[in-house]
Amino acid sequence: MAEVTKLIHKYLRHDKKFPHVWCPGCGIGILLGALIRAIDRMGYGKDEIVMVSGIGCTGRLPVYVDFNTLHTTHGRALTFATGVKLAKPNLKVIVIMGDGDAVAIGGNHFIHAARRNIDLTTIILNNSVYGMTGGQYSPTTPYGMKSTTTIYTNVEHSFSISELAVTAGAAFVGRGTVYHARLLDDLIEKACLKVGFSVVEVISHCHTQYGRINRLGSAVEMMEWQRDHAITIERAGQMKAEDLKDKFRIGVLIDRKLPVFQDEYEKIRRRSKGLEK
C-alpha cells in the first residue's frame, strides 16, 4: 500500500460520507494532507488530539479526520479551544480557521489568545476571500482587488495575519503556502511541538471565487503565483527592499520562549493554597 493510502486509512473518518465540500483544486486539501503527515510524524495518538474549527470552507476540515473534533461558531474557535485546553491540558489542541474566520469576526479572540500565550496550535488558511458564501472581500483581500462585494475594487487595506500574530504576542509564527507542501509539513510540525501559542499562516488560493473574479486563472496558475511570490526568510535577507516589494516571506517568522498560560496558572493554584509566594 502506498504511504499516502495508509495515512488516509489511518486518519480519515471511514463513516463520514465523502465527497468533501471543497472545490476541485482547492488548497484546503493540501493543508489537510500536510496536517496529517505532520501529526503522523510526531506520533500523537488520535485520542490525544482535539481539532477545533470555526465556520467557512476551512472550518469544514475537522469533520473528515478521526480525532476529537469540534466545529464551533463563526470566529469563535479559539475561545472553545481555550476552554478545552485549560480543562484538559494533556490534550493537543489544534485550531483550524480561514482568514475571515480568524481575523475578521474572530480577530479579537485571535489577538487575545496570542497575548495570553495559551498552548494552542493555530493554523489559518488565508485565501483572501470568503469562499463559502460566494467570494466577498475579507480582511486579507489586497487593496485594489475585486470580490463580489468590491466589484469596483477594494479600497480597504489588508491585514498581515502573521505580523498581527507576532505583535499580539504569539510564541511561534510561521508562514507557508499550499504550493510549498514540504515546508508546510515542517511548519505545522514545529508549531505543534512549540509549547505556547503558535500560528501557521497558510497562503492558499480560491480559484473558484477570488481567482475567477480577478481573472487570476486556474488553481495551477494561482499556485504558480505562490511559487513566484513567496521568498524564504533566508533568501529575503539577502535581497534588496525594492525586489521584495510584491513578495511575501515564508518560513519561521518568530520562535521565542514566553511564559505559557497553563504553567503560570499552575503557579496561581499553588499560591492560592499558600504553597508558593
Nearer to other proteins, 85 or 175 (CB): 85
End-to-end CA distance of the chain: 58
Grid coordinates given for 98: 480561514
How many Å apart are CA 196 and CA 172, to the nearest integer?
8
Residues forming contacts to other proteins in the complex (CB under 8 A) are: 13, 15-17, 46-48, 50, 52, 55, 62-63, 66-73, 76, 78-88, 90-91, 108-109, 112, 265, 268-269, 271-273
How many Å apart are CA 207 and CA 27, to the nearest integer?
10
Shortest Cβ 130–other proteins spacing (Å): 18
Shortest Cβ 120–other proteins spacing (Å): 11
Cβ within 8 Å of residue 78, ≥6 positions away: 52, 95, 97, 106, 109, 110, 113, 120, 122
Nearer to other proteins, 240 or 273 (CB): 273
Shortest Cβ 272–other proteins spacing (Å): 4
Which residues partner with 199 through β-bridges?
A: 122, 173
Nearer to other proteins, 17 or 257 (CB): 17
Cis before residue 142, ω within 30 degrees of 0?
A: no
Nearer to other proteins, 17 or 245 (CB): 17
Shortest Cβ 68–other proteins spacing (Å): 4
Report the run of H or E that residue 228 belongs to, with start and end: helix 219-229
Nearer to other proteins, 91 or 102 (CB): 91
Is residue 97 within 8 Å of 70, Cβ to Cβ?
no
Grid coordinates given for 10: 489511518
Shortest Cβ 109–other proteins spacing (Å): 6
